[in-house]
Amino acid sequence: MNPSSLRVTSLNLNGIRSASSKGVDAWLRHQACPDWLCVQEIKALEADMTPELRALGGLQGAFHHAQKPGYSGAGMYFRHTPDDLRIGFGSPEFDAEGRYVEARYRLPDGMRLALVSVYFPSGSSSEDRQLAKFRFLAEFEEHMKALQAQGEVILCGDVNIAHKEIDLKNWKGNLKNSGFLPEERAWMTHVLDDLGWVDVFRALNPLPEQYTWWSNRGQARAKNVGWRIDYHLATPGVARLAQRGSESIYTAERFSDHAPLSIDYALAL
């Protein structure tokens, strides 16, 4: 990593205890070395969090736990103590599901920067959950606008939407499936084209077959039949600081059904 840059990694853990048992801590300490690790789907209550889980990679952690045991949950680990820390984004419905952690900083150059770890709902289990996902998109869009008004933002997480055909292997067979529905893809287009957010990984890497999640069925991972549903979404000022060639989807080890997504930014604290 460039010494004048800071690394941001996002990873859906699909259970923090499971990922820990698969070696994610050693990877974070000795190979990944992020300055911020945004995690989703921790699937743990506060009482489940051992000292080791609270300090993955030797970093400080903050967490948003779902009320329901073994469900959802988001967190952020940071090397640099935030000036302000926010848990939840003010939604009674979705804050109960543990989906949002935000860390705020004032950088030496005067930039106001917010780092966000967010876990968007999946709509694949039922029509009710798909309707909940649409409610989330509507609420969260308003929150994204409010974030933009306060400074630069790097928003990381499992968005549970593949934006374009290049972002999943079997796009023709998924046109009517949650995660690739026209309404979901239109929302993402609106966020990028109308609200001005940047899909940082795609801005740096236009290549096909860049996926972050694979089904556990049918040797999908071995065959790279995947989806790109994990993102760094950033406001334009900080998106311009993303360092080309630093973007990485780490697949050499398997900690989860998702792969870690890392990008370095030319930032200093």
The Cα–Cα gap between 36 and 134 comes to 29
Cα separation, 261 vs 201, whole angstroms:
9
Q: How many CA atoms lie within 13 A of 41 on its CB side?
A: 20
Please answer whether residues 53 and 81 qualify as being in contact, where contact means their C-beta atoms are separated by less than 8 angstroms.
no
Residues 168 and 226 sit within 8 Å (Cβ to Cβ)? yes
The terminus-to-terminus CA distance of the chain in angstroms comes to 15
Catalytic option among 158, 199, 230, 257: 158
Question: Positive or negative, the Cα torsion across 13, 265, 191, 135?
Answer: positive
Q: What is the Cα–Cα distance from 12 to 15, expressed in whole angstroms?
A: 8
Q: How far apart are CA 258 and CA 250, in angstroms?
A: 10
Contact by Cβ (8 Å): 235, 191: no
Q: Rounded to an integer, what distance in angstroms lies between the CA atom of residue 260 and that of residue 178?
A: 22
What tokens does 4 get?
A: 């004048």
Closest by CA to 152, choosing from 100, 91, 201, 107, is 107
230 a catalytic residue = no
Q: Which residues have a catalytic role annotated?
A: 158
